[in-house]
Structure 1
Amino acid sequence: MSLYQKLTKVMNDRNVDDYAKLLHEDAEIIFHKSGNQFTKTEWVSMAAGMMTNPKFVNDASRCVYENDEILVSHDFMSYPDDTKEAVMLVCMIKDGKIIRMETGATPLA
């Protein structure tokens, strides 16, 4: 199973523990929009809050490109405040896990 498939499955299942296992211990997560950076521990805590909220929804996802070094996906997301965004996700991969994740989001009208 590809990393994209694993990531999609844990997000659909809202399985925080398995999600955390996909992240390298030295992972860094960067939000392009705000410039905020998070460690694995910080990000997993935030992701847990999102994954337990039923109004945080991945409406559609597709893998743009994936190999052993990089994963690029594009998603349409709905949020608890009833906003929607198109999200580009770029993950650098090390030892089969996400070592660096950066998102870029565009608000949708």
Structure 2
Amino acid sequence: MNVYDKLHRVMEDRNVEGYVGLLHENAEIIFHKSGSRFDKSEWASMVAGMMGNPKFVSDSSRCVYENDEILVAHNFMSYPDDTKEAVMLVCMLKDGQIIRMETGATPLG
């Protein structure tokens, strides 16, 4: 199973442990919009909060491209504050795990 399918499954199942298991020990997560950067443990804490909130929802997701080095996906997300965004996700992969993840988000009306 490719990384996208694993990521999509753990998101749907709200499986925090499975999600964190997809991250390389040296993973770096970057939000393009704010420039915020997180390491694996910081991101794991945020993911637990997001997945624990039923109003944090991936409305749809698709894999744009994936190979052994990169994953590009596009998602429509709904958030607890009732906003929605189109989110582009780009992940650099190493040894079948995400070592660098960057998101770019566009607010939806």
Structure 1 and Structure 2 fold alike (TM over 0.5): yes
- Count of residue pairs brought into register by the alignment: 109
SS at match of 1:99: strand
Q: Which runs of 4+ in 1 moved over 4 A?
A: none
SS at match of 2:44: helix
Alignment of 1:5 with 2:1, yes or no, is no
In 1: Cα distance, 2:17 partner to 2:36 partner: 23
SS at match of 2:6: helix
In 1: Cα distance, 2:41 partner to 2:86 partner: 25
Per the alignment, residue 100 of structure 1 pairs with: 100
**Offset of 1:42 from its aligned partner?**
0.1
% identity of equivalent residues: 77
Structure 2: unaligned runs, 5 residues or longer: none
SS at match of 2:68: coil
> 1:44-59, aligned counterparts within 5 Å?
44-59=44-59
Structure 1: unaligned runs, 5 residues or longer: none
**Offset of 1:28 from its aligned partner?**
0.1
Q: 1:12-40: per-residue Cα shift (whole Å, max 9, x none)?
A: 00000011100000000000000000000
Q: 1:34-83: per-residue Cα shift (whole Å, max 9, x none)?
A: 00000000001001100010000000000000000000000000000000
